[in-house]
């Protein structure tokens, strides 16, 4: 049978508690930045997949309804609103016809950060274009001057690239290959300094 010494409690000393608190604080200081980076990368990847899915839905609707569908990117401060649109007179999507109501919007346009906190269109400083050349601009929407991504009834689409970035250095690109209408998602690997397929 164990005997307790008279006057001593079986608790912890102040020094032991301070030591445990210091270790816990150090581990938290190391883990929190990694967790935030992982969350930022997850949100940015999810936004890229969301855009790819929206393009795929537009392609499906265009083929099924035998009319041009697509996405319109509307400048809004330092970012863009994204909205689905459809051809109303079977001559393709046109900015003037969207303004006059001949081509119609399919719902309200929205910002990416409504669904994915901290994610926006753009290119992180120092990241090259998806083709490897230095980025001439930080603009993340590269689908022509009209900012319309059209998908035709035969499955072809407007060629281009949509760049999405997170709060930190997470960078993804959604590439649309016009002839086939195929969509690819790329991630910029900061360590290797190159784009890789996701």
Give me the average pLDDT of each 10-residue run along the chain (198 residues).
58 80 77 74 96 96 95 93 95 93 95 94 94 88 91 94 94 94 94 93
Q: Model pTM greater than 0.85?
A: no
Predicted confidence at residue 124, as pLDDT, reads 94
Query: For residue 49, what are its two tokens?
Result: 């997949």
Q: Where are the domains of the chain?
A: 14-60+116-197
């Amino acid at each position: 049978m164990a005997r307790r010494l008279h006057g001593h409690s079986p608790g912890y000393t102040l020094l032991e508690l301070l030591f445990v608190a210091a270790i816990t604080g150090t581990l938290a200081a190391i883990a929190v930045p990694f967790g935030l980076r992982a969350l930022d990368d997850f949100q940015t990847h999810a936004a890229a997949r969301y855009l790819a899915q929206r393009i795929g839905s537009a392609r499906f609707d265009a083929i099924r309804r035998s009319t041009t569908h697509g996405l319109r990117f509307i400048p809004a401060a330092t970012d863009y609103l994204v909205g689905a649109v459809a051809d109303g007179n079977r001559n393709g999507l046109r900015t003037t016809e969207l303004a006059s109501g001949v081509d119609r919007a399919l719902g309200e346009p929205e910002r990416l950060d409504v669904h994915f906190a901290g994610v926006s269109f753009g290119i992180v400083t120092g990241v090259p274009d998806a083709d490897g050349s230095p980025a001439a601009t930080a603009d993340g929407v590269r689908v022509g001057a009209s900012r319309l991504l059209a998908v035709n009834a035969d499955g072809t689409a407007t060629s281009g690239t949509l760049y999405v970035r997170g709060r930190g250095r997470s960078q993804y690109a959604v590439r649309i290959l016009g002839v086939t209408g195929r969509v690819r998602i790329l991630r910029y690997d900061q360590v290797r300094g190159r784009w890789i397929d996701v």
